[in-house]
Structure 1
Amino acid sequence: MSETAPALVISDLHLEREPGPTLNAALAFLDGPARAASALYILGDLFEYWVGDDASHPAAEQLAAALSALEAPVMFIHGNRDFLVGPDYAARAGMTLAPEPLHATLPCGPALLMHGDSLCTDDSEHMAFRQMVRSEAWQRDFLGQPLEQRIARAETMREASRHNGQMKAAAITDVNREAVAATFREGDVPLLIHGHTHRPAIHDLEVAGQPRQRCVLPAWDEHPGFLELGPEGPVLRQLDETPYPAHLLHA
């Protein structure tokens, strides 16, 4: 691995419990582009849901074996669907559980990495849900329930999330501009990388008179891809390493 090897970033794979096409794509990615990376960052929603490290399932364990075989470090930030991924699974996968936001020094310079749902402040319903499930009390109560009950609750929450998402205006489920600007000001970095919104793009903007870039990652259950970060800057790519299709990028 060369010193100029790019770092790679992915998010929103939404892997189901049983192996399927998305897992196959992930395994191919880990055995392909990720092999040459200096680091791999996973910015949440790796799984469709996660009900505890004791809830082992085939897709997760196959993925863990592939992740742990990488030479490059793997950093994981919790998403809004897999916020219960804990140290036991992280150890099996060879991942480091990272704080959110994560300040990272990438081949192209300093950056701030996060899942991204905390930027969607116009979605008051989701923000209330996020505050609830990220509390220690809620997580302790949930993890104390029998496994079958946890899975049933997760399935119910998933269906409710899908229904609510269909009913909300697109503007509500996207990031809030002031929240983005505030994150840039507080983080004091030129680059912000996140997932969650399923609106892949690289946005050039200006905050407090300074040029900034916001990179949004694609969802793998829609059109898979990853962000490559080399010395010359960020590039969105498909899994075959060609540039991400322009017609799928969001303004």
Structure 2
Amino acid sequence: MNPSPSARAGRTFFIADLHLTDERPAATGRFFRFLQDEVAGADALYILGDLFEAWIGDDHDERVAGDTAERLAALTKAGTRVYFMHGNRDFLLAERYAARARMALLPDPTRIDLYGVPTLLMHGDTLCTDDTAYQNFRHRARHPLTRALLHRLPRAWRQRLAREARAGSEAAKVRKAAEIMDVNVDEVVRVLREQQARRLIHGHTHRPAQHVHHVDGRACERWVMPDWYTRWGYVVCDATGCTLRMDAL
């Protein structure tokens, strides 16, 4: 039996790396059931990047984009706040689509008070400082001039560039050592100290787990969310703490 909306109040959900696309309807169906069965009635839903497999601009024409906006807007109208932080696949998502989905855009990183715990939210890619090739690419791609140029290109050109970027990303992963694509622990400690946070929640690495880092003598939690390729999952928090939950699609 699913919990009633009143039972879900006082809970906040976190997801990342769903990589939704019309080509993967199982993940889309699982996401919509998750919104209805798990999130409805909760305090908030935080989407920490890569909601979509690719995002060429707010004129993105995949059916999943429209259906997702409709579901998220309904969730917000029913009283659950929805927040979105850009990932490396959907950093071109802008105010027009956010307004359509009735979700608030967040900078990366964002620090919140989560039931009394200072909690840092990130997509997670900036923590992977050992992957210098990716960090250089990220810096160029996120530059305001690059983004402005991309927004001005015809949609067909942007679609082609997105396909080429996806193919290049997959090829690059094969050539890299696995540990290079994971977070740098020193960087994790640095941002926790800098942001004065006791908890960090992020995605990007597709390595779901709970970690503990010691920062200036204090134990700090780090929660890593799963992707939604063959499994699906999320982090849910309340006043007693956080839990990582996963299941098969």
- The TM-score range, normalised by the shorter chain, is over 0.9
- Aligned twin of 2:188: 180
Same amino acid, percent of matched pairs? 41
- Aligned twin of 1:214: 222
The alpha carbon displacement at 1:67 in A equals 0.6
> What's the secondary structure of 1:175's corresponding residue?
coil
Asked if 1 retains the 8 angstrom alpha-carbon contact of 2:127 and 2:187, the reply is: yes
User: How far apart are the structure 1 equivalents of 2:7 and 2:80?
Assistant: 11
TM-score by length of 1: 0.92
Counterparts of 1:157-168 in structure 2 under 5 Å? Answer: 157-168=165-176
TM-score by length of 2: 0.93
Deviation per residue, 1:97-155 (Å, 9 max, x gap): 11111111213622000100000000001101110111110011111111001000100
**CA RMSD for the aligned pairs?**
1.5
- Aligned twin of 1:244: none
Counterparts of 1:24-103 in structure 2 under 5 Å? Answer: 24-70=29-75, 71-103=79-111
Question: Which stretch shows the higher mean deviation, 108-117 or 210-219?
Answer: 108-117
User: How far apart are the structure 1 equivalents of 2:172 and 2:83?
Assistant: 30
User: How far apart are the structure 2 equivalents of 1:198 and 1:222?
Assistant: 11
5+ unaligned residues in a row in structure 1: which ranges? Answer: 241-251
Deviation per residue, 1:29-88 (Å, 9 max, x gap): 011111031100000000011000012320011111111111211010000000000011
Paired AA for residue 122 in structure 2: M
User: How far apart are the structure 1 equivalents of 2:148 and 2:118?
Assistant: 35
- Aligned twin of 2:25: 20
Paired AA for residue 25 in structure 2: G
- Aligned twin of 2:120: 112
Deviation per residue, 1:186-243 (Å, 9 max, x gap): 1101000000000000112211111100000000113210101011111011369xxx
> What's the secondary structure of 2:158's corresponding residue?
helix
- Aligned twin of 2:3: none
Q: Which runs of 4+ in 1 moved over 6 A?
A: none
Asked if 2 retains the 8 angstrom alpha-carbon contact of 1:13 and 1:45, the reply is: yes
Asked if 1 retains the 8 angstrom alpha-carbon contact of 2:8 and 2:40, the reply is: no
Aligned length: 240
5+ unaligned residues in a row in structure 2: which ranges? Answer: 1-5
